[in-house]
Amino acid sequence: MPCFCSAKLGALSTALNGLPSLAGLVPVLPVSLVAQIGMPAMPFGALASLSASASASAAATANLSLMAGLAADMKAALGVNLAASLSASAQASLAANLSAMLSSLNASGSLLAALMALLQSLLASLMPLMNIASVVLAAQANFGIDLRAGGAVAALQAALAARASASASLAANASAQMNLNAMLLASMGLSANAQGALTASAMAQALAQLGLGLPALTVPMAALSLLAALMAIIAAILNALKINLLGPNLHANLRMALGLLPLSALAQLSLPVSASVAANANLNASLRANAAAPLNLQVVARADLRAMAGASLAMRLAANASGLLGVPGSCGAVCPIATADAIASAV
């Protein structure tokens, strides 16, 4: 069963401390550009409205959010589908894997706590580069446009204009499933109906039961959250821009990757606003109307998933930094997990 290797975490700490400054190398894109290109096929600001529409079931929404994140990260890290019915052996294996991961993080608690200030600084300094990566990924995902290709900016301008003109119609036809809980259910492959709510309820109960057998996370949650966020950003930048922030020749590779993108033209892109504002108003009205018929998520709301919050962060870190995982004792360094297992076996 995999754990977070203390030797690999130590090596990561050294690498992060040695990360060269990117000051003056990364242009800053307008926030409005990042928001409009990266937004889904609904008007900007819809998520805030969605949150408001779900305020009556805040506990269910909070648990669904935790479950959705855990489901995505667990599938990426361990290949486990939480929405599927797990056999007793699969449940035992999952519990063992999570226990090993949490115990290994606890064993490296002092190292992670010492990284907090550095992690905060790195997250702030990498946001301009992350915004560029987000625009590149979103242009490809939302419009099928490779920003490195010729004519990409003109194609993007046309796509944004077309979406703006169509967004009012989209909002007017928004279905009753267009609320935050429904979106969270959909992210787990569940329908926003009675059967989907029933499956989510069973998942919540199973996760609450699973959490009872997991070791408590003693690592500062803030430190673990910052590290998971940083590794997600590093992975996204590698995926979008093919830049390994922890690899050699960072400055040269960064200049080459950014040189392939029309950043100046993107910064001057004309962004349609008025149509989005009108469509957003229509969507808000639709969402308020839809809030009158909530799903039956009482079981989800009552489930105590506090013990799974640490597991969720551990899974997020594993999903974006699988290189930190290893079999206990396999790295050759003194391993607190392997040592503890050996003592337990000898008793």
Share of the chain above pLDDT 90, in %: 51
Question: Does residue 177 lie within any of the structural domains?
Answer: yes
pLDDT at 252: 96
pLDDT in tens, 43-69: 333 333 344 444 446 888 889 999 999
pLDDT at 27: 93
pLDDT in tens, 143-177: 999 999 999 999 999 988 887 766 555 444 444 33
Question: Does residue 325 lie within any of the structural domains?
Answer: yes
The stretch 131-137 carries a mean pLDDT of: 94
Q: Do residues 50 and 180 make contact, with C-beta atoms less than 8 angstroms apart?
A: yes
In which band, very low, low, confident or very high, does the pLDDT at 1 lie, cut at 50, 70 and 90? Answer: low
pLDDT at 35: 81
Whether the pLDDT of residue 73 is over 50: the answer is yes
Closest CA to 311 of 164, 13, 106: 106
Q: Do residues 118 and 227 make contact, with C-beta atoms less than 8 angstroms apart?
A: no
pLDDT in tens, 329-339: 676 665 656 55
The stretch 29-43 carries a mean pLDDT of: 68
pLDDT at 77: 86
The stretch 6-27 carries a mean pLDDT of: 93
pLDDT at 43: 34
Question: Does residue 34 lie within any of the structural domains?
Answer: no
pLDDT at 34: 84
- Cβ within 8 Å of residue 43, ≥6 positions away: 167, 171, 276, 277, 279, 280, 283
Per-chain mean pLDDT for the chain: 81
Q: Which residue has the tokens 């419009």?
A: 143
In which band, very low, low, confident or very high, does the pLDDT at 280 lie, cut at 50, 70 and 90? Answer: very low
Residue 207: which domain range? 3-18+49-346
Q: Which of 11-15, 135-139, 278-282 has the lowest mean pLDDT?
A: 278-282
Question: Does residue 27 lie within any of the structural domains?
Answer: no
Q: Do residues 19 and 246 make contact, with C-beta atoms less than 8 angstroms apart?
A: yes
Question: Does residue 71 lie within any of the structural domains?
Answer: yes
Helix axes 194-212, 180-187, angle to 10 degrees: 70
pLDDT in tens, 213-240: 999 999 989 999 999 999 999 999 999 9
d(C-alpha 175, C-alpha 81), whole Å: 27
Question: Does residue 61 lie within any of the structural domains?
Answer: yes
Whether the pLDDT of residue 9 is over 80: the answer is yes
Instruction: Specify the number of domains making up the chain.
Output: 1
Question: Does residue 41 lie within any of the structural domains?
Answer: no
Share of the chain above pLDDT 70, in %: 78
pTM of the model: 0.78
pLDDT at 36: 80
Closest CA to 295 of 176, 165, 189: 176
The stretch 313-322 carries a mean pLDDT of: 91
pLDDT at 287: 43
In angstroms, the Cα distances linking 8 to 13, 267, 314 are 9, 39, 15
Question: Does residue 161 lie within any of the structural domains?
Answer: yes
In which band, very low, low, confident or very high, does the pLDDT at 345 lie, cut at 50, 70 and 90? Answer: very low
